[in-house]
Structure 1
Amino acid sequence: MSGFSVYLGEEADWSYIQSMIHLGYDTLFTSLQIPEESDEVKLQYFKELLHQLQEAPVTLIIDANPSLLNHTFYQLLSFYSNGNVVIRIDHSTSIDVINQLTQAGLSCCLNASTLTETLLTQLKQQVDHFHKIVYCHNYYPRPNTGLSQSFVQAQNTLIRHYNPEAMIYGFISGTKKRGPLYKGLPTLENMRHAHPIYSAQMLIDTGVNHVIVGDIQLQRKYAQQLIQAVVERHFTLRCKVASTDLQVQTLLQMTHQVRIDSPEKVFRSHNARQSINQSIPPAHTTTRTRGMITVDNERNGRYQGELQLIKQPLPAHPNVNCIGEIIEEDIALLDCLSGNDTFSFELNT
């Protein structure tokens, strides 16, 4: 469900690779086609990468030119026996190349951004193992060249018309950018500078089911948030707290589940009220702005302890305490939550 990228122009950061795999990232993308990188250096570091991954059964996606697909290349890949190898062919795609890959026991990945109905029809008719083909959208280093959400969604719909169970990958920007432009490597242009989880959710909403960090690295705090959100549907929301009430503190330390019937302007916690065993006096009954965390006080009777996340501004109410607020950077995650998702708070000091 989630992946990261390693580029071969310099020695890999093995501590980063190991930490991402340990967190649960199960896909690693690399490329043998970066023009700025020396072919000799790339090959050497590629061999080292395969060696280091022997004990890490991740899916390895290799962006390669068909001219590399020879006996020597296949023999090199044979040393990586613990994981699944996927060869991504962008240019010079042909039926022969795809069949050659699948007959060699490898998966073939095509550029999801450039496929046409004509090509998909041809592939379905002529490829021996059509349903084993996977798809990966491009990333776009240059600003203003990335794709729109509507285009990506249309491409994904087209692919799934021919292969309903298709695995489709897309990219989001990381925090340590790759050169030469250092402007991020997203699939969606309007997600170039967005929060990683928000970017991932926007991709998922188009029909992408595997999200890869395109850049060199993603900071650990975001890597943890992202894997939880994408794989577990759990969201860690960093917040500032305005209340010292012990009952409120208990609520802020809980894991909450979003009620499936949450209304338009707030998310309601499914399980907060059951945890209250003492009265919550009125305090901080101020205007409720987007990103605020609220709890119903004793004036609201049996609704006392109701915890809500505010999606849209609401006026102050004497029965509702404003106990904290999600930090500005994480407010975008409110647009990612859905019914039955879980969330917890992390105090931002």
Structure 2
Amino acid sequence: MKTGISIYFSSGMEKNETLIKKAVKNGVTYAFTSLHIPEETGVDYGRSIRQLLDCCREEKLNLIADVGPETYEKLGVASMEELKSLGITHVRLDYGFSPREVVEISKHFYVVFNASTIMEEELLEWKQCGADFTKFAACHNFYPKQFTALSLRQVREINNRLKYLGFTTMAFVPGNLTLRGPLFEGLPTVEDHRSRMDEVAYNMLELSMEGGCDVVLVGDVDIREKDWEAVKCISQGYVELRTDLLPGYEFVRDQIHHDRPDSSEYLFRSQESRLYQQVIEAEERENGMPIRKAGSISISNKKYLRYMGELEIARVDLPMDERLNVIGQIKEKDMKYLTYVQKGFGVKLILD
């Protein structure tokens, strides 16, 4: 999945440069910044944005700039086209642009609009002016004030409609290390995420898999180091799951297993595991356990014929099968990820 950060000029160029380099190191490919947030006072916009753009360009980040008609004066440019020469790839437009102007801008940039407030009439006007919706992206707001953000259901419903029309969709999760003022209560798109700031990667995965977001960005300034490590994993298409494994099956650990694209609601099936070149003998079960608990890790033995070696993880309780050896269990604290590890997404089984 694609991940992003938010950059604020008031943080200072040194802080922003450090943040950008750390983000890119951890798989981030997008950055959002605003050129007209009222709290950005005492900032030399022209110099700061040019330094910021140079840094983003060097790191090959896609930069989403929140712009308005007054942006030209702040940056000392004569037209929207000149912004492209500065390295901005996506423009999130404020009010003040006609439908024809928006479509013309989309010939030079990806145009980002407010997913939560866009009206059908505006989409129709863009289409009538010749818009190519693959050059547009729908980005939800973040909400500084408590209980004003959206529900996950609202985001999913909005995104389903917009993705059907061909738009890329984006949203925000709150950070947990350096929060953004003036309220310092997190900057989520989904209100439930405000109370789950310590679960950055999980919130991102939820927005992607259940909310239908193509790009998920951190709205606040920074996140904790452990969360950067988790963001790196999901940016590369997998999550790490802490696991207890039986002796003799360590070979399934510390490698990435990807779920099949035709994902099952009952279990995760590793695409790679059937390539194991070894015979898996059936194991006798002394206690005759009637079920495989949700989170149990199994591997098909030779009684499963051509499926021998296939690793699977139960998403729900399932009946026992003599053709399967139960070899381990996902730790309870990581069970929540199983719902979203699907359709080609991966897992890496690690020791706690």
**Fold equivalence (TM over 0.5):** yes
Report the alpha carbon displacement of residue 114 of structure 1 after superposing the two structures with TM: 0.5
Over 3 Å counting, the alpha-carbon distance change for 1:258 and 1:108 in structure 2 is closer
Asked whether the equivalents of residues 4 and 212 of structure 1 are also in contact (C-alpha less than 8 Å), the reply is: yes
Asked whether the equivalents of residues 137 and 169 of structure 2 are also in contact (C-alpha less than 8 Å), the reply is: yes
Over 3 Å counting, the alpha-carbon distance change for 1:304 and 1:33 in structure 2 is same
Report the alpha carbon displacement of residue 96 of structure 1 after superposing the two structures with TM: 6.9
Over 3 Å counting, the alpha-carbon distance change for 1:184 and 1:339 in structure 2 is same
Tell me the distance in 2 between the aligned counterparts of 1:122 and 1:38.
Answer: 36
Tell me the distance in 1 between the aligned counterparts of 2:296 and 2:106.
Answer: 56
Over 3 Å counting, the alpha-carbon distance change for 1:101 and 1:347 in structure 2 is farther
Please tell me the root mean square deviation across aligned C-alpha atoms, in Å: 3.7
Report the alpha carbon displacement of residue 7 of structure 1 after superposing the two structures with TM: 1.4
TM-score, L = length of structure 2: 0.78
Counterpart in the other structure of 1:212: 217
Asked whether the equivalents of residues 170 and 211 of structure 1 are also in contact (C-alpha less than 8 Å), the reply is: yes
Asked whether the equivalents of residues 237 and 326 of structure 1 are also in contact (C-alpha less than 8 Å), the reply is: no
Asked whether the equivalents of residues 26 and 228 of structure 2 are also in contact (C-alpha less than 8 Å), the reply is: no
Over 3 Å counting, the alpha-carbon distance change for 1:296 and 1:29 in structure 2 is same
Tell me the distance in 1 between the aligned counterparts of 2:18 and 2:322.
Answer: 52
Structure 1 counterpart of 2:229, from 218, 221, 227: 221
Tell me the distance in 2 between the aligned counterparts of 1:104 and 1:17.
Answer: 27
Counterpart in the other structure of 1:232: none
Over 3 Å counting, the alpha-carbon distance change for 1:70 and 1:107 in structure 2 is farther
Counterpart in the other structure of 1:51: 54
Asked whether the equivalents of residues 175 and 200 of structure 2 are also in contact (C-alpha less than 8 Å), the reply is: no
Code of the aligned partner of 2:201: P
Tell me the distance in 1 between the aligned counterparts of 2:24 and 2:282.
Answer: 44
Tell me the distance in 1 between the aligned counterparts of 2:343 and 2:137.
Answer: 30
Over 3 Å counting, the alpha-carbon distance change for 1:80 and 1:340 in structure 2 is closer
Asked whether the equivalents of residues 241 and 347 of structure 1 are also in contact (C-alpha less than 8 Å), the reply is: yes
Report the alpha carbon displacement of residue 94 of structure 1 after superposing the two structures with TM: 3.2
Is 1:187 the counterpart of 2:189 in the alignment?
yes
Tell me the distance in 1 between the aligned counterparts of 2:63 and 2:119.
Answer: 26
TM-score, L = length of structure 1: 0.78
Counterpart in the other structure of 1:332: 336
Counterpart in the other structure of 1:89: 93
SS at match of 1:9: helix
Tell me the distance in 1 between the aligned counterparts of 2:178 and 2:231.
Answer: 15
Tell me the distance in 1 between the aligned counterparts of 2:261 and 2:110.
Answer: 38
Any gaps of 5 or more consecutive residues in structure 2?
none
Is 1:345 the counterpart of 2:346 in the alignment?
no
Any gaps of 5 or more consecutive residues in structure 1?
230-234
Report the alpha carbon displacement of residue 249 of structure 1 after superposing the two structures with TM: 0.9
Judge which range, 258-267 or 138-147, deviates more: 258-267
Tell me the distance in 1 between the aligned counterparts of 2:111 and 2:260.
Answer: 41
Report the alpha carbon displacement of residue 107 of structure 1 after superposing the two structures with TM: 4.1
Over 3 Å counting, the alpha-carbon distance change for 1:116 and 1:39 in structure 2 is farther
Report the alpha carbon displacement of residue 10 of structure 1 after superposing the two structures with TM: 1.6
Asked whether the equivalents of residues 147 and 188 of structure 1 are also in contact (C-alpha less than 8 Å), the reply is: yes
Over 3 Å counting, the alpha-carbon distance change for 1:271 and 1:96 in structure 2 is closer
Over 3 Å counting, the alpha-carbon distance change for 1:294 and 1:177 in structure 2 is farther
